[in-house]
Amino acid sequence: MRIDLHSHSTASDGTDPPAEVMRRARAAGLDVIALTDHDTLAGHAPAGAALPPGLSLVPGLELSCRLDGHSVHLLGYHVDPAHQGLAAELRAITADRLRRAREMVARLRELGVGISWQQVAALAGGGVVGRPHIARAMVAAGVIADPAEAFTPAWIGTGGRAYVSRYALDPAAAVQLIRAAGGVSVLAHPAAPTRGWAIPDQAVARLAVAGLGGLEVSHPDHDHAQRLRLAALAASLGLAASGGSDDHGSLTGHRLGCETVTPGAYEQLMSGVRGR
């Protein structure tokens, strides 16, 4: 069994539509793929309708959280889309993402960057808008050569010249919300150095008490030493050692299946889903 529990589509900031993500998942030899777009469940229906034989879809999402001023991402799986509390939070987060993206475009224009809101909105294509869409517009405008250059202090990196912060959930509240909606949660890329901050072990322990189901141990941004440390931390807290490619299509390089989770850890995680 090859299981990848982290991927993105055009429902958020991936470059491939959900159906294409499913096709690529099977082509990459996966048996199970989780679609975990940022702050939306909108990709699940088109992904499910396009599921190739032999591939199982785990409906998921990646919730934007903030702890002590730092961005923290929480993956959720098998939540009830009809849960009103969760739906209300997703509406609040996506509405504020829109406000924030507009403000960042305005600040970039003040800095002389020749991009428009229309361009960014077109790149988002009706999905949840995020900084990667702005980064792609900046590449198209010839301001930077690679989307990664946008995520620096010079532009829209956290705290950067054109950066605008946004509404995000407290991670412990998000863990409880996912549980209340019948799902299980996994702390995403807890040690990724490229994201500027590694969440302290004590904070992870508090999330475990709040009902966290797993820790994303296998992630492309984690080096070998971090994986060993996170696996030990997960074991000590009784959390599943999860993993996934965090594929965003061409934005990250097509890499579905480059990171996987063991069937045992998958079963441990899914045993927390209500009704299973």
Residue number of the CB closest to Zn ion reads 73
Chain centre to alpha carbon of residue 64: 8
Euclidean distance between CA atoms 87 and 46, whole angstroms? 19
Nearer to Zn ion, 72 or 265 (CB): 72
What minimum distance in Å lies between the beta carbon of 147 and Zn ion?
15
What minimum distance in Å lies between the beta carbon of 73 and Zn ion?
4
Sites of contact with Zn ion (CB under 5 A): 62, 73, 188, 246
What minimum distance in Å lies between the beta carbon of 250 and Zn ion?
15
Nearer to Zn ion, 16 or 62 (CB): 62
Is-contact 29 57, C-beta < 8 A? no
Nearer to Zn ion, 113 or 207 (CB): 207
Other CB atoms closer than 10 Å to residue 48's CB: what's the count? 14
What minimum distance in Å lies between the beta carbon of 257 and Zn ion?
15
Nearer to Zn ion, 73 or 166 (CB): 73
Task: Output the 3-class SS for 39-60.
Answer: CCCCCHHHHHHCCCCCCEEEEE
What minimum distance in Å lies between the beta carbon of 247 and Zn ion?
9
CA angle 63, 266, 85 (to 5 degrees): 30
Task: Categorise residue 2: left if φ over 0, alpha if ψ from -120 to 50, beta otherwise.
Answer: beta
Nearer to Zn ion, 143 or 188 (CB): 188
Chain centre to alpha carbon of residue 205: 21
Query: Which of the 8 DSSP states describes residue 5?
Result: -
